[in-house]
Amino acid sequence: MQNWAGNLEYSSTDIRRPRSVEELAEVVAGASRVKALGSRHSFNRVGDTSGVHVLLDGLPQEIELDSEARTVRVSGGVSYGELCRRLDRAGVAIHNLASLPHISVAGAIQTGTHGSGVNNPSLAGAVERIDLVRPSGEQVSLSAADGDQFLGSVVGLGALGIVTGLELSVRQSFHMRQRVLENLPWDSALENFGALVSSAYSVSLFTDYAGDVIDQVWLKALDSEPALAGLFGATAATEARHPLPGMSAETCTPQLDEPGPWLDRLPHFRHEFTPSNGEELQSEFILPLEQAPAALQAVRTLAAKVAPLLFVSEIRTGAADEFWLSPFYRQQSVALHFTWKPLQAEVEAVLPELEDLLRPFGARPHWGKLFTPASHDWEALYPRFGDFRSLAAAHDPEGKFRNDLLDSILGVPAASAR
């Protein structure tokens, strides 16, 4: 079994598709190593195991809306695409979405997946309750009332249990318009960065860091926000655009200010379009928003090495949250995302240099993308890192949910059989 990008083959020796949570709990209890996989859109081995992989698409795929409480209960195997269609039919919405709707809700939230918007928390920000199966097969359900247990588990890298269900907060459905601006001079972007990324509900910048201009600015605006014909020297595109210059915009969500529902504007790509596999790699580094101009300027100094490996880089933002291993933990952030060409060796060769460059800005790597584990001081990056490690050791002392990547980050559990 491979991941979506096809850059890695999982090491599991057994793949199971339990038909009920009880059956899943039995599989987990009986395995010495086990891990869940969602839609396999991660680019690294965070979801790998040398034992049993459980796929949750055989479980009843429940999406139950509680209109009064403004929450939705979602089973572990459901994707955002499925969830959003159902929510929209009921007249409700989620606050934000990633660029692609095909990812699983549980897998996305476990790695801190996010969209953009200075006031929009990551997808984990909607979680009100999380249901987990522990290594013994015990089923637990945690909410904010459980304090640290909850705050440590929501962005949990799959290290604290198999997520069988989540309760997410929803809001009234909303309409948006999307507009692309072009050729934003780097100098004015850096000078006005805060105002630029606050100019609409969700703002994304697309660049390869070479040259004097940022190619595209994607503005996703609410009905209540003004239409911006230009901004800091950028001008409105007169045709729909793909983030990659020269590519057809057919696969992209509607632009040119055409109003439409949140679920067809927040992602960059249409739900009905399934991106082909194996054509790209990704890395992303998340750091405090106020550091953005200096960090971006630093990356520009590496443009000669980075640009030839890039399809494109996307610059996004996100609001702070309270989840211990969330890259947005307690800081309003900017996220520097890199969509690489499928040249893993070359990308892995340049990553340490990029990570060295971003270290002084407190950059936290995206847990589901390519990074160099040894390049990061996890304790310094995450104030509650030690607490997360203790939580994982307490709930999984034998390291049933561990793999080499998690061990290299969290350390090998004391009672691990390996």
Ligand X SMILES: Cc1cc2nc3c(=O)[nH]c(=O)nc-3n(C[C@H](O)[C@H](O)[C@H](O)COP(=O)(O)OP(=O)(O)OC[C@H]3O[C@@H](n4cnc5c(N)ncnc54)[C@H](O)[C@@H]3O)c2cc1C
Query: Cβ distance 373 to 140 under 8 Å?
Result: no
Is residue 103 at the binding interface for ligand X, with CB under 6 A as the rule?
yes
Query: How many other C-beta atoms can be found within 10 angstroms of the C-beta atom of residue 372?
Result: 14
4 binds ligand X (CB under 6 A): yes
352 binds ligand X (CB under 6 A): no
The one-character DSSP state at 57 is: G
Q: Which of 40, 179, 220, 395 binds ligand X (CB under 6 A)?
A: 40
Q: How many CB atoms lie within 10 A of CB 54?
A: 26
The first and second tokens of residue 368, run together, are 């589901």
- Kindly state whether residue 56 participates in binding ligand X, applying the rule CB under 6 A: yes
Segment contacting ligand X (CB under 6 A): 6-14, 98-106, 233-241, 381-389? 98-106
- Is the CB of 153 or the CB of 291 nearer to ligand X? 153
**Residue 18 binds ligand X, judged by CB under 6 A:** no
Q: Does residue 42 touch ligand X according to CB under 6 A?
A: yes
Binding to ligand X (CB under 6 A) within 359-388 occurs at: 366, 368
- Count Cβ atoms within 10 A of the Cβ of residue 177 and give its class: 0-12 exposed, 13-18 middle, 19 or more buried: buried
Contact 228, 199 (CB under 8 A): yes
Using CA atoms, how far apart are residues 401 and 180, in angstroms rounded to an integer? 43
Task: Between 183 and 344, name the residue whose CB sits nearer to ligand X.
Answer: 344
Is 150 a binder of ligand X (CB under 6 A)? no
Asked whether position 111 contacts ligand X by CB under 6 A, the answer is yes
Binding span for ligand X by CB under 6 A among 9-17, 23-31, 102-110, 241-249: 102-110
When asked if residue 313 is in the footprint of ligand X (CB under 6 A), the reply is no
> According to the binding rule CB under 6 A, does residue 12 interact with ligand X?
no
∠ CA 375-208-188, rounded to 5°: 105
Candidate residues 47, 117, 125, 152; the one interacting with ligand X per rule CB under 6 A = 47
Q: How far is the CB of 103 from ligand X (least distance, A)?
A: 4
Which of 233/342 has CB closer to ligand X?
Answer: 342
Binding flag, residue 106, ligand X (CB under 6 A): yes
- Cβ closest to ligand X, residue 103 vs residue 334: 103
Bridge-based pairing of strands 234-236 and 230-231 is: antiparallel
Q: If you search the block for the tokens 């509680």, which residue do you land on?
A: 66
Amino acid, single-letter form, for residue 52: V
DSSP-derived letter for residue 263 is G
User: According to CB under 6 A, which residues from 151 to 210 bind ligand X?
Assistant: 157-158, 162-163
Q: Reduced to 3 states, what is the DSSP secondary structure of residue 411?
A: coil
Tell which residue, 253, 256, 232, has the closest CA to residue 179.
256
**Token duo for residue 319:** 């609001």
Angstrom CA distances, 412 to 209, 396, 401, stand at: 39, 11, 11
Question: Which of 31, 33, 34, 39 touches ligand X (CB under 6 A)?
Answer: 39
54 within 8 A of 70, measured Cβ to Cβ = no
Size of the site for ligand X (CB under 6 A): 33
Residue ranges binding ligand X (CB under 6 A): 4, 35-42, 46-47, 56, 76, 98-100, 103-104, 106-108, 110-111, 113-114, 157-158, 162-163, 275, 282, 366, 368
